[in-house]
A and B are shown apart, each in its own frame.
Chain A
Amino acid sequence: MQRVGALIMQQLMRHRMPQGQLLRRRNPTTPAVLLSTFTQQQQKRGTATSTVSSKQATPPPRHDWNRAVSEAERIVGYPTSFLSLRWLLSDEIANVALHLRKLVGSAHPLMKTAKHLLYNGKNTMQAWGLIVLLVSKAAGHAPSIPDVEQDKSAGVLHSQRALAEVTEMIRISHLVHNSVVNLQSGTQAGQDVSTYDDMSFGNKIGLLTGDYLLGHSSAELANLRNQEVVELISSAVRDFSESEFIGERDEQNNPLPYKPGTFQRPSLSVAVDFNEHDVMTPMPIGQVLGNPEQEWECRNILNAGSLLGKSCQASLKLAGQSEQMQRHAYRFGKHLALAWQACLDAEIFQCPTLPLDTTFSLVSAPVLFHLEHDPSLYALIEPGKKSVELIDYVQIHKAVIAGPALAKTKELQCKHTAAALSVLQHFPATDARQALENIILAMQDL
């Protein structure tokens, strides 16, 4: 998908940007150099995105993220993002690029999403397909799988590679669909005449692009000829859509926390998760609303962990692995996604002051933890019921970093990191398992 993004952006940039700038942005995403030049990438990113530039000055951490990822990519053959020419040559993608160009300069969130997809940095964790492949390789496959199905040099099956592509396609389709702007007549965006046409056009492109990805992922899935896998992955798509309905929302569907005290429930001793025996059963999230940690977990399983976990599980299904190994793979994917999310949630609160024009999710772990610690913070959040733009993020940021929430979030991250590492022990010791461990450790040092 990165390639697709690159193509789109290249077209955009060529149109709008001076040549020098164009080259600088193109470099990190040109296919040929992608694999070898992670160090170069690191330097470029300093110039390309301002938010991470401050980090570049600090001495290199013990576990280097880019190195961990790049080594992992080497282990499974080539980078997971779509390499196939059909993507570059597909009419629809060329069409999208053409149309997206009209949106450059507009405020449509689709542009932001496209940009995010493009910068292959730790911020977006492009590496989902990579994780699926590493787990596949770490687990190996049943001896009954015929030779022609295997990609011997990389140690994964062709079908697993296809599944890794599908995983990325589905994730991106969700991100793209999530950039649709609510233009209902009662909303601010719906009434703003000057931007209405842009927004409406952006919605159209976003919707179709997301549908295109979904349609193609379902075709790819069908070609795997394994209906249990189709079932599992379709249920991950269901989880994505469900996640956008949980809890209170502002008029642009940004999530808001519940008012403290809305739910009076004892916290459950066991973590809530899907019914193993019936993928149709939805996440029983109603049981945990109001409990910050478990609510956060459920929200983010729906939002991320479900797809990664179920993809890892499905990949082992394709390899003919035992039910038990499949469960391990699911848990690994889930915990990794949660650890990753905790890490992202914590990031913004590690800056002593909130960078200009930056916002954060109001259901991120630090905010939820702080609300539990100090319910009076809700007074600052309440105006967001109309629109989160009315919220004073600086003040919330200040309150949260003064409290214990950040430490708790780090604890949460450690919990899931440890869980992921311990599940990994069920896999045989291979270079792929080592690579997964390195990625997890690198993430912890971010």
Chain B
Amino acid sequence: MACLSTSGRVACGSRRQQAHKFICRLFLNPSLRRQSSHLSVGPAPAEGHARKYAHTHNPQLARRFYGLSLGTNQDNLSLLQNSHNCSNNAQYSPQSMQSLRTQSSVHTQQPAGPVREIQIDPYIILDDELKYFYDDVRDLLQSGTSQSELDTIACYYFDGQGKALRPMVTMLMAKALNYHLNNESHQLVHKQRQIALFSEMVHSASLVHDDVIDQSDFRRGKPSVNALWNHKKVTMAGDYILSIASIMISRLRSDDVTIVLSQILTDLVQGEFMQLGSRETENERFAHYLTKTYRKTASLIANALKATAVIAQADDNVAEVAFQYGRNIGLAFQLVDDMLDFVSSTEQMGKPTAADLKLGLATAPVLFACEKYPELNPMVMRRFSEPGDVERAFELVHKSHGLEQTRFLAKKHCNEAIRLAQELTESPYQKGLQVVADLVINRMK
């Protein structure tokens, strides 16, 4: 009982992304590793038959989970509804099993996060909301245009291969808040889910535009949009996603939600502009970096969570808890991202590593390393533009304590996030919010 492992096999969803998400989960959740030998789900090769086998069933675990569900029961019922048995194990190719194994062995080299007393898997308790998440985004995007190419480009990154971190955190907070405030309206959850959709759409729109700006060829392990389509059309597709997302939000008919969410867009662009300049002094540099990180990454999560609080008619204090939780998670997420840029392999990240250095960006690990190796300062100022700069900086970062310090800072933000989550009434979702903090700090991709 003490370490209820989250049994990813219950209610595994029905589409390709579900299978993929399972893998992510496996990766992310240390306690799941122990079970990996029994695993029956690998990356599904094609959407077509993914539907057939993705349902798995483990009544015993599900019941134990249910027995532990700390008071809320309505949402966990869904965990029990699976009627399909996974009788199709034979379909899984040996390759997928092997890839599982390699991935999990990579994982063991990493320090495991603290195992909480009760491990809840946020992706599972949100299965109802996330199951058809990407399908809904694609349907929405499709309904807004008569041009198939626009539809194709706009939907390209909604293939379910992303981590769906933003929608997941948004829904967790939404449900934790609803529990905290004793709201049980189904309609409320639906509205909050629209905000989750918005968060993912804005994120993707920014990826689409970033791809044109950065000219990188790969993202999430596949060719990036700018490699496949006319850059002008790609730019327009980014605008299109934004416009559809804001039509959707306007239909919630809440002035305050629209205002909170529009802040995300202005922050994102301001963050991008901050990234263009690097003329600050050494002292200002770190503050500049953190502000930029807030605007580019954390603002999206923080304001989306705040918007769910607005929908739930939370008072200002509770809305602030939601906002600050999101801000801390967002900052930690980006700090870890910047750290992984130095330690992960290209294969794992789905994009080239040391990418930030190559783009001339000095992220936290470099800025920390500057303290020990002042020779990095001129390189930062010239944006690693001279031959050999990138390699030298990469080496110095690894020689310094830059990566540990970055991780420490991320850890601090995660702890703060956990503390904030604990201010809400205890519920599986509130626990889930704390688990997310662990996932963020321990993630590998």
- Interface hits, B221-242 → A, CB 8 Å: 226-227, 229-233, 235-237, 239-240, 242
Instruction: Give the interface SS of chain A, mostly helix, strand, loop or mixed.
Output: helix
Q: Does B282 contact A (CB under 8 A)?
A: no
User: Which residue of chain B has its CB nearest to the CB of A208?
Assistant: B272
A35 cross-chain contacts in B, Cβ below 8 A:
none
> CA separation between A227 and B259, bound complex, in Å?
10
A180 partner, pick from B146, B150, B212, beta carbons under 8 A: B212
Residue pair A212, B231 in contact (C-beta under 8 Å): no
B239 cross-chain contacts in A, Cβ below 8 A:
173-174, 177, 210, 214, 237, 240-241
Chain A interface size, as a band, is 35 or more
A222 partner, pick from B146, B226, B258, beta carbons under 8 A: B258
Residue pair B265, A91 in contact (C-beta under 8 Å): no
Residue pair B255, A225 in contact (C-beta under 8 Å): yes
Chain A 275-319 interface 0/1 with B at a Cβ cutoff of 8 Å (1 = within) = 000011111111000000000000000000000000000000000
Residue pair B250, A219 in contact (C-beta under 8 Å): no
Residue pair B265, A228 in contact (C-beta under 8 Å): no
A200 cross-chain contacts in B, Cβ below 8 A:
215
Instruction: Give the interface SS of chain B, mostly helix, strand, loop or mixed.
Output: helix
CB distance from B207 to the nearest CB of A (A): 13
CB distance from A339 to the nearest CB of B (A): 25
Chain A 94-137 interface 0/1 with B at a Cβ cutoff of 8 Å (1 = within) = 01000100000000000000000000000000000000000000
Residue pair B146, A184 in contact (C-beta under 8 Å): no
CB distance from A82 to the nearest CB of B (A): 16
B262 partner, pick from A91, A185, A222, beta carbons under 8 A: A222
> CA separation between A182 and B144, bound complex, in Å?
25
Residue pair B246, A207 in contact (C-beta under 8 Å): no
With A182-B232, A230-B250 as given contacts, are A237 and B272 in contact (CB-CB < 8 Å)?
Answer: no
Q: Does A215 contact B (CB under 8 A)?
A: yes
Count of chain A to chain B residue pairs whose CB atoms are closer than 8 Å in the complex: 161
Residue pair B240, A241 in contact (C-beta under 8 Å): yes
> CA separation between A251 and B262, bound complex, in Å?
34
Chain B 40-59 interface 0/1 with A at a Cβ cutoff of 8 Å (1 = within) = 00000000000000000000
With A222-B259, A230-B258, A282-B145 as given contacts, are A92 and B270 in contact (CB-CB < 8 Å)?
Answer: yes
A182 cross-chain contacts in B, Cβ below 8 A:
230-232
Q: Does A56 contact B (CB under 8 A)?
A: no
B253 cross-chain contacts in A, Cβ below 8 A:
227
A244 cross-chain contacts in B, Cβ below 8 A:
232-233, 236
A99 cross-chain contacts in B, Cβ below 8 A:
276
With A222-B258, A284-B146 as given contacts, are A216 and B266 in contact (CB-CB < 8 Å)?
Answer: yes
> CA separation between A338 and B274, bound complex, in Å?
40
Q: Does A412 contact B (CB under 8 A)?
A: no
- Interface hits, B245-268 → A, CB 8 Å: 246-247, 249-255, 258-259, 261-263, 265-266, 268
With A180-B231, A184-B226 as given contacts, are A283 and B146 in contact (CB-CB < 8 Å)?
Answer: yes
> CA separation between A235 and B270, bound complex, in Å?
24
A208 partner, pick from B255, B265, B273, beta carbons under 8 A: B273
A95 cross-chain contacts in B, Cβ below 8 A:
273, 276-277
A203 cross-chain contacts in B, Cβ below 8 A:
212-213, 231
Q: Does B68 contact A (CB under 8 A)?
A: no
User: Which residue of chain B has its CB nearest to the CB of A279?
Assistant: B247
CB distance from B299 to the nearest CB of A (A): 11
- Interface hits, B84-109 → A, CB 8 Å: none
A210 cross-chain contacts in B, Cβ below 8 A:
235, 239
B240 cross-chain contacts in A, Cβ below 8 A:
238, 241-242
A231 cross-chain contacts in B, Cβ below 8 A:
247, 250-251
Residue pair A282, B144 in contact (C-beta under 8 Å): yes
Q: Does B269 contact A (CB under 8 A)?
A: yes
> CA separation between A160 and B143, bound complex, in Å?
30
Residue pair A241, B237 in contact (C-beta under 8 Å): yes
B254 partner, pick from A183, A184, A207, A227, beta carbons under 8 A: A227
Residue pair A211, B269 in contact (C-beta under 8 Å): yes
With A95-B273, A241-B236 as given contacts, are A280 and B147 in contact (CB-CB < 8 Å)?
Answer: no
Q: Does A75 contact B (CB under 8 A)?
A: no
Among A95, A181, A231, A252, find the residue whose CB has the most chain B CB atoms closer than 10 A: A231
Q: Does B36 contact A (CB under 8 A)?
A: no
> CA separation between A185 and B216, bound complex, in Å?
12
Residue pair B247, A234 in contact (C-beta under 8 Å): yes
A180 cross-chain contacts in B, Cβ below 8 A:
212, 231-232, 235
Residue pair A207, B213 in contact (C-beta under 8 Å): yes
Q: Does A249 contact B (CB under 8 A)?
A: yes
B277 cross-chain contacts in A, Cβ below 8 A:
95
B231 partner, pick from A92, A184, A280, A284, beta carbons under 8 A: A184
> CA separation between A210 and B226, bound complex, in Å?
18
Q: Does B243 contact A (CB under 8 A)?
A: yes
CB distance from B271 to the nearest CB of A (A): 10
The 27 listed contacts between A and B (C-beta, < 8 Å) are: A91-B273, A92-B273, A95-B276, A95-B277, A207-B213, A207-B235, A211-B272, A212-B273, A216-B266, A218-B262, A218-B266, A219-B266, A221-B258, A226-B255, A227-B254, A227-B255, A227-B258, A230-B258, A235-B243, A242-B150, A244-B232, A245-B145, A249-B230, A252-B230, A253-B230, A284-B146, A285-B146
Q: Which B residues are within 8 Å of any A CB, using their own CB? A: 143-147, 149-150, 209, 212-213, 215, 226-227, 229-233, 235-237, 239-240, 242-244, 246-247, 249-255, 258-259, 261-263, 265-266, 268-270, 272-273, 276-277
Q: Which A residues are within 8 Å of any B CB, using their own CB? A: 91-92, 95, 99, 173-174, 177-178, 180-185, 200, 203-204, 207-208, 210-212, 214-216, 218-219, 221-223, 225-228, 230-231, 234-235, 237-238, 240-242, 244-246, 249, 251-253, 279-286
Known A178-B232, A203-B231; 13 more pairs at CB < 8 Å: A95-B277, A177-B236, A203-B212, A207-B213, A207-B235, A221-B262, A223-B259, A225-B259, A230-B246, A235-B247, A244-B236, A280-B144, A285-B146
